[in-house]
Chains A and B, each alone.
Chain A
Amino acid sequence: MNRAPHSPWLYRFAIGTALATLALLSVGGLVTSKGVGMAVPDWPTSYGYNMFWLPISWWKGGVFYEHTHRLVAVFVGLLTSILAAWMWGRETTGRVRWAGWFTILALVLMLGHRGSGNAEGGAAGVPAHFKFLAGLMPALLIFSVAQCVRTRSALRWLAMSAFFAVILQGILGGFRVALYKDQIGIAHATLAQLFFTFICALALFLSRGWSDTDAKPTERERGLRCWFMVATLLIFFQLLLGATMRHQHAGLAIWDFPLAHGQAWPDTSVEAITRYNQQRAELVALNPITAVQVRLQMVHRILALLITIVVALSAWLTLKHAARGSVLRKVAVAWLALIALQMALGILTVLKNKPADLATAHVIVGALSFATGVVLLLLAWRVEILSFTRGGPVLSSPDGVVTN
């Protein structure tokens, strides 16, 4: 992690990328909240046009949101490729440096080549090289993460992982449109949150303060880790549930709170489900509610309560045990504030019948909660992570890596 000297500009660039990703998450969340994910039927083209040349006159209704989502996604993809090239260049020289840059450029050019497209939409419009990239990206992602561990977490491999992840994310988004698969939407939504968290972690590693410590955590501080871990895992599971519910496109399975369909535990018999579907007034094309969705919503509520308790305990214990001036204290309190806000947004989303803005805010604060959990974990393990990276092979190795 301390392979190259701290660069304030690189750090700022990473923060900028994280913010752009958060904006992208908002637009993406809005597309799903508004139910307009399929408003542009074809991909990678837009109504048969190269996506950058879709005339403004087409940007109406759902097309506006979906097309903006695609454009912001390209922007974040470019930022990520620059970040990767930058971080790769800092840690390498000679042939290795050029090989990395060439790989990045080749992939960007491949993605830029959108094929002739097919305004009719469907799988037929997807050029073959996108299918090839879809298969290649998970392999490259695994490879770069493995390299990261092997080289004792050289940041260049982390940046490369982010680059491969963002390509995979774009392709998942495209395939969701072209193949009419709601399930791909779940993966797309989950990877979005993971990617955002990943960029946040990268920014943390690039920050001036990150390697500025040698203070061994006390026994009590170490005791906090378990709490952070449990809470973050619960949040991740909650995020999966949220993505699943949203991408079933069935709207609210339960629209009252704190009761559920007027009961402590809602009736999920066939008659009851028929009644729920009959009673709700869906203003947009929604899929029918199923018993599974009602149960998922209940699990989501219970898990929300559990997360609130665990995060509150984590924050309380952190204030009690972490050393004065420790960054853990601030982050833990911010975490609790985020969870409280998230809870409020979740309840309001239910009570106000899932308006797109509230539902999207719920997605964003969810992403921030998860990212904060991961940042807290990294901070709690900072000394171990730093000593792991310092114990790594020296940077001059035969593969032409810069020594610092």
Chain B
Amino acid sequence: MKMTNWFLTTTALLAAAQFAAAADVTGKITLKGAPPEEKVLPLDPVCGKLHTVPLKTRFYVTDGKGGLADVFIYIKSGLTGAAPAPSATPAVLDQVGCEYTPYVIGVQVNQKMNVLNSDALLHNVHPTPIVEGNKEFNRAQLPKGPPISTAWPQSEILLRFKCDVHPWMFAYVGVVEHPYFAVSAKDGSFTIKNVPAGKYVIEALHRKTGKPVAKEVTVGANGAVADFTIELQ
């Protein structure tokens, strides 16, 4: 009995310590330079009917004030010890109006991800990984059909999903070995949650600019702030 108590107290203390030592990394992604105009996507009549305004490419989603969305931010190096087990909550990639939404998501290695089809029409879910160990597949997903679940055993930034019934449909998944990643919102803001205290290299990658931007960050009890500027060539 005494032994159990002692064990419980220690565990609680340790957990508390961990909690105290883990904090959020927040920041903002700023795009420098005027992005090119987005192009209208070549939708077929069936998908075209689902939209009143023509769908456009999503290369540079901004808030018009410098904030840049869909940037994948993750800890590139500096983590020690084994990564925590992947979240039990699956990541979700949906197909709505013949478009993958969101355009960029992140998952941890071996974390479950569900691909949904909210459309009343057929899509095919076709991830095209290039890292060995991540297996390509191509599966039909019926109108409003059940989710297609998958997980990726290897880190891959960024892994593309496409639909060959509608070749303009594509989206990206950042697969990393740990849960310390985020995707920037429209105003460029992001939060990487519960990062253990330490010194890290954090990288921000925007799919279209192609060039990752890295930064050294020290995470303390109050977390850290890491702002990135992505420059257009």
Contact = CB atoms under 8 A, between A and B. Distances in A.
Interface of A: 34-39, 41-42, 47, 58, 60-63, 66, 119-122, 180, 274-275, 277-279, 281-285, 288
A77 B117 CA distance: 37
Nearest to B168: A284
Interface in B38-71: 38-39, 41-42, 44, 46-47, 57, 59
A180 B160 CA distance: 14
Given A34-B167, A47-B140, A62-B165, A278 B233 contact: yes
B164 A36 contact: yes
A120 B121 CA distance: 17
29 contacts: A34-B167, A35-B167, A38-B138, A38-B164, A39-B164, A41-B164, A58-B122, A60-B121, A60-B122, A61-B46, A66-B164, A119-B140, A120-B137, A120-B139, A121-B139, A180-B136, A274-B210, A274-B233, A278-B210, A278-B232, A278-B233, A279-B233, A283-B39, A283-B41, A283-B168, A284-B167, A285-B128, A285-B169, A288-B210
Contacts of A285: 128, 160, 162, 167-170
Ranked 10 nearest A-B pairs via Cβ: A285-B170, A285-B162, A284-B167, A38-B164, A35-B167, A41-B138, A39-B164, A61-B165, A62-B165, A121-B138
A39, A61, A278, A281: most-surrounded residue (chain B CB, <10 A) = A61
B208 interface: yes
Contacts of A63: 122, 165
Contacts of A279: 36, 233
B152 to A, nearest CB: 16
B124 interface: yes
Contacts of B162: 285
Interface residues of B, number: 35
A282 B58 CA distance: 10
B166 interface: yes
B138 to A, nearest CB: 4
B184 to A, nearest CB: 18
Contacts of A288: 210
A243 B227 CA distance: 45
B149 interface: no
B137 A121 contact: yes
Interface of B: 36, 38-39, 41-42, 44, 46-47, 57, 59, 121-122, 124, 126, 128, 136-140, 160, 162, 164-170, 208-211, 232-233
A60 B208 contact: no
A283 B122 contact: no
B133 to A, nearest CB: 15
**Interface majority SS (helix, strand, loop, mixed), chain A:** loop
Nearest to B170: A285
B222 to A, nearest CB: 36
A39 B126 CA distance: 9
Given A62-B166, A120-B137, A180-B136, 4 more contacts: A61-B46, A281-B59, A284-B168, A285-B167
A307 to B, nearest CB: 31
A34 B42 CA distance: 11
Contacts of B139: 41, 120-121
Contacts of A60: 44, 46, 121-122, 165
B49 to A, nearest CB: 12
A180 B128 CA distance: 9
A63, A122, A180, A285: most-surrounded residue (chain B CB, <10 A) = A285
Nearest to A287: B128
B140, B170, B209, B211: most-surrounded residue (chain A CB, <10 A) = B140
A60 B166 CA distance: 9
Given A35-B164, A63-B165, A284-B42, A277 B210 contact: yes
A271 to B, nearest CB: 8
Contacts of A119: 140
Contacts of B36: 279, 281
Nearest to A35: B167
B192 to A, nearest CB: 25
Contact of B167 (A62, A120, A180, A281): A62
A283 B99 CA distance: 12
A282 B207 CA distance: 12
A119 B141 CA distance: 10
Nearest to A177: B138
Nearest to A356: B42
A278 B36 CA distance: 10
A163 to B, nearest CB: 30
A36 B139 CA distance: 14
Contacts of A58: 122
Contacts of B47: 61
A121 B136 CA distance: 11
A180 B121 CA distance: 24
Contacts of A281: 36, 38-39, 57, 59
